[in-house]
Structure formats: structure tokens, C-alpha cells
Amino acid sequence: METEATGEPAVTIEMSETDTESFEDLGPRVAFANGGITQAEVTTIPSVEEIPEGTLINSTLDPPTVNISSASLTVPATSGVVRRSIDVDNRASEATIAAAQMVHQIVSTGKEKAATWVKAYANLDNLRPHFDVEPRTVVNRLIQSFVPITDLSSPEKVPTELYGPLVTSLTLVAVLQMNMKTSNTSLEEATLIETALTTCFGYWAFLTGVIIGLSYLCSTYINKIQACSIAGYGMVSHVVVSFLAELFHTDRTPFFMFWFTICGASSARMATVIASRTVGVSQRILASSIIIFIHMTFLLYLHFSYHHILDEIVEVVEHIEEALDIE
Amino acid sequence: MLAIETYSEIYTGDRKNADTPQWLEKLKLDWLLETDNEHEKFDNRPLLEELDIDPSEIWYKIRCILLPVFISKWGYQKHVLRDNPDFWGPLMSVTIFSAISVWGQSHVVGWIYTFWFSGSALIFGLGRVLGGDITYSQSLSIIGYSLLPLSTVCLTMMITGSCSGGFNFLGYVLWIFGIVWSSYSAASLLVADEFLDKKPLITYPIILLYIYFMHFFTGV
């Protein structure tokens, strides 16, 4: 491309958005050509070096006209004047662009934050169907978690509610912590609350995963939320047995009795619900036996790991009994 | 030109220094001697006002929390706690409870603050999904203030020596009384009229939260 005035080759300056050099450092031509003005709209100016000597000094030609989008600027023949006027306008346009960019950034950041909050509130509303229950319904489900079903011919209805399971897990955390304190459990590299939280919520997640895995292997008709709900309600037996074991903690016998009856009933409930939604006898047996085994073993683990019998109390009671016998 | 105009608009007014020499103004360099006096206005405000702390309001709320049953009969407006939640009062309450619980277990402080924030978030979430219209700041404020009854009971347990190991009937009674007192204070404020029928569903997690706090006092 050649300028109309001189016929000399024009200076074409191309800068990408990633260039970080200041336009002023590169000279006014660069600043002028890239100062937020579309390059296509800029009439290029011949470089001073490229203009023949005679032409520059004794120029009788019309000065080149520069069009800057809305503003029109007439560049005089003297190069010094061109440089100064371009500098001023270039700074002004740079400031305008910077201000616009800043406003845009502030607005976009605000929008993003608002969107995040709206999204969080919307997510809470998405959870509402799983938590919005009546107190009576929760109590009924808690009681039913100990009652095995007898009719396996039709699939048992499984709720997709999560309030009960969540609160059950939180209760188990509190009871387990109480057990740990009663038995003077000391952990070297963890706190009691940390261990209780990890154990209870970890087991809930693990049992849910097992049920989902079994449903995949045994073709059980159950979704993830239902699996989560079954596992959570199953933990009610652990809460009850752990609490009762706390009250009768001087002997193992009451614990085993509670374990066999209460935890057994709860495991049977879970197993029968899963079995009722599974097609095929061998698949039913496999799924049920695995769930019963895991569920009952975990209560044994909880008891023997975190609920030690107070040997001192036992010894004191034995001494008292011996003393009474002697007398 | 816009940039220059904006610049001159900003650096005028109170910032001008009266002792600026004329020659510096002629050279357009008078801005070098300008001073920013804006912050002095804020410096003169009292610290409590600057931090938005109102001790009389905090004291009012503390009385409402400590006497949740009788306070309404004496003309106190309990709902102020829900309608006008603040941060510094609950923070003070949680700090007092931490200070009481910290003896021999410095790491409990972190757990108390963590459970205050996360427990309030849980209560807020449950309240929302159960149909309530509570905000996180309300939950944080009420749960924090309601630790004061628990602090009072813990202090009593320390004085009477009923928090020591082994079976202690007085300790158990105080333990349960503290949890009931705190839970009642919090639940009576957090459960609004719109989901009164679901009060047990929001009250039970609150009770559990204060059981955790009591566990922190007896050993984390």
C-alpha cells in the first residue's frame, strides 16, 4: 500500500493483543496505529526516514489526513507537531480504553459473583425434594428401618429422602464420641471428633457405594439417592446399639444381644429391600449376604475399636462381690 | 484529554496544599505537594463506630439469649436477634466459650470456630430446604450468641468440679441443662412461623450441634 501524497511505501504496524510493550515506547506511529483504533480506519503516515530529503524539507504537498473513527485529525507537514498532537490524543484514547476495560472488569466480576450466589441458592432449592419431609414421616421411616419386609415378590418402595440419613450420621458421630470418652480412648495423631466424623460419614459413603456396586452387578433397580437413603437409615441401628452399649458398658453380653437383635433386624431390612428390587434368586442371595455382612461387621468394628470396657470398673465390681462373699 | 481532565478533577479540593510555591503550579507540578486529608475524617471516628460495634445492642441481645423464657414478659423484643444479626457479638460469645474450653487442649479453638461456621451453614441449609426464610448471617449470629448459656454452664461445671472424669451426677445434669438451654434459645429464634410444623426437624440438628460443642469442652 502506498500513500497518495508521496507514493512511498506505507508503514504497516501490526501488534497483537498479547504485546505488553507500551505504545509510547515504540513511538507515536505505533501508538497512533494501535491506540484502540481499528487499523483499517487509519490512514498510514509515511515514515520520516522513508521520505526523500527534499520532499520533507521543501514539501509543498497537502498534509496527510488522518481519520480516527469519530475524530478527524489533520496532521501538519512538520513531523514534530504530528508527534505531539498524536501523543496527547493517544494518551486520551488509552485512558478511555483503560477506564472502559476497568468498568467492564468490575461489571463482569460482579455478575460472576452474583451468578455464584444465585447458583448456590438454586442448588439449595434443588435439594428441597430430598429434605422437605414431615416429622411424622421421618419417625415412621426410623421405626420401619428395623422391620424386614416379608413379601419379596413386589419391589419395596424406597424413599429418596436424605434428611433422616444425614441426621442419623450426625447422631452417630455424637454417640461415638461419647463412647470414646467413656472408654478413655486416646488417639495419637487425630482428635476424637475428627475420627468420629471420618468414621461415620466414611461408612455412610462406603455402604452407599457398596449398594450401588451391587445394584450394578446384580441388576438391582435402585438409584443413587435411594441407595444413600437405605444406607443412612440402616445406620440407625448403630446409633441405638452404641447408645445402649454406653449405658450397659460393664459387660459384653448386653452388647452382643443388642447387636444380634437390633442390628440384625436393621440389616435384614436393608437386605430384604435390596432383594425385593433384584431379579434372580442367586443375585438376591449375593446382594443380601454382602450387605448383612458389611453392616453387622462395622458395628463390631465400632464397638471394639472405640468402646473399650472399663477394666477398672470391672475389677472394682469384682472386688466388691468377693468382699461380700467373704462376709 | 479525558484522562487529563479526570486527573485534574481528582487532584483538587482538599488535597491542595496552601504552601505550594507558584512556580511549581506554573510547571503543573503542584500535585507533588498535595496531601490526602480524606483519611483524617475517618481517623477521628471512634473504633467501635468504625467497626460497627454497638455494645448496648449486644448487651440487649445477650439478655435475650440468656433468659429466653422470661424475657418476653419483661418487654424485650427477642426477634431483634433474628431481624438484626451482627457478627461481633457472636464472635465474642464463641471466643469466650473457646477460652473456657481451651485449658489443656489448645487445638480445640480451631474446632470450635470451624463448627460454628460449618454448623451454622448446615442449620441455614436445612432451614432453607425445610421451607424457612433464614439467612446465613442470621444463623451464624443466633448460633454464636446461643453459646453463651453453654459457656455459663461450663463455667459452673469448672467451679463445682463436676467436669472431671468418672461418673458425676451433677455433671450429667449440668451437661444436659446446658444443651437444653442453648438449644431452646437458638431454636426459638431460628424457627420462624412459616415452618413451625417442622420445628422438630430443625431443632434436632441444633441440639446435636450443641452436643458437639459440649464434647469440645470435655475434650476434643
Q: pLDDT digit of tens for each residue in chain A (327 aa)?
A: 444 444 555 544 444 444 444 444 444 444 444 444 444 444 444 454 455 554 444 444 455 554 544 444 444 444 555 555 566 667 777 878 888 888 888 888 888 887 777 776 667 778 888 888 999 999 999 999 999 998 888 888 999 999 999 999 999 999 999 888 877 777 777 788 889 999 999 999 999 999 999 999 998 999 999 999 999 999 999 999 999 988 876 677 888 999 999 999 999 999 999 999 998 899 999 999 999 999 999 999 988 887 665 555 556 666 677 777 665
Domain containing A64 equals: 1-102
In a domain, residue B75? The reply is yes
Question: Which residue from A226, A255, A258 is spatially nearest to A141, judged by alpha carbons?
Answer: A226
* ipTM, two decimals: 0.77
Q: Are residues A142 and A27 in the same domain?
A: no
Q: Are residues B39 and B114 in the same domain?
A: no
DSSP state of A307: -
Contacts of A127 in chain B (CB under 8 A): 125, 129
**Buried b vs exposed e over B113-136: b needs ≥16 C-beta within 10 Å?**
eebbeebbebbbbbbbbbebebeb
Counting as low any pLDDT under 70, the low residues of chain B are 1-17, 37-43, 164-167, 194
- Residue A22 CA, chain-centre distance (Å), reads 41
Specify the pLDDT at position B103: 81
Specify the pLDDT at position B48: 79
Specify the pLDDT at position A21: 41
* Distance in angstroms (rounded) separating the CA atoms of residues B10 and B12: 6
Q: Are residues A206 and A267 in the same domain?
A: yes
In a domain, residue B48? The reply is no
Contacts of B172 in chain A (CB under 8 A): none
**pTM exceeds 0.95:** no
Q: Are residues A142 and A49 in the same domain?
A: no
Domain containing B19 equals: 2-43
Number of domains in chain B: 2
Count of pairs with CB atoms under 8 A, one residue in A, one in B: 72
Q: Are residues A199 and A286 in the same domain?
A: yes
* Distance in angstroms (rounded) separating the CA atoms of residues B88 and B73: 27
Nearest chain A Cα distance for residue B111, angstroms: 9
Q: Do B215 and A174 touch (CB under 8 A)?
A: yes
Q: Are residues B143 and B82 in the same domain?
A: yes
Q: Are residues A285 and A162 in the same domain?
A: yes
Q: Which of B126, B128, B219 sits opposite A181 (nearest CB)?
A: B219
Q: Are residues A225 and A278 in the same domain?
A: yes
Given a contact cutoff of 8 angstroms between Cβ atoms, the answer to whether B102 and B217 are in contact is: no
Q: Which of A102, A126, A152 is the last residue of a domain?
A: A102
Residue B81 contacts by C-beta under 8 Å, 6 or more apart in sequence? B61, B64, B65, B141, B142, B145, B189
Specify the pLDDT at position A288: 94
Specify the pLDDT at position A174: 94
Q: Which of A94, A131, A171 sits opposite B126 (nearest CB)?
A: A131
Q: Are residues B159 and B59 in the same domain?
A: yes
Q: Are residues B88 and B180 in the same domain?
A: yes
Residue A178 contacts by C-beta under 8 Å, 6 or more apart in sequence? A246, B215
- The chain A residue lying nearest B2, using CA atoms, is A92
Q: Are residues B30 and B69 in the same domain?
A: no
Judged by a CB distance cut-off of 8 A, whether residue B202 touches chain A is: no
Nearest chain B Cα distance for residue A287, angstroms: 33
Contacts of A99 in chain B (CB under 8 A): 2, 6
Specify the pLDDT at position A303: 87
First-last CA distance in chain B? 65
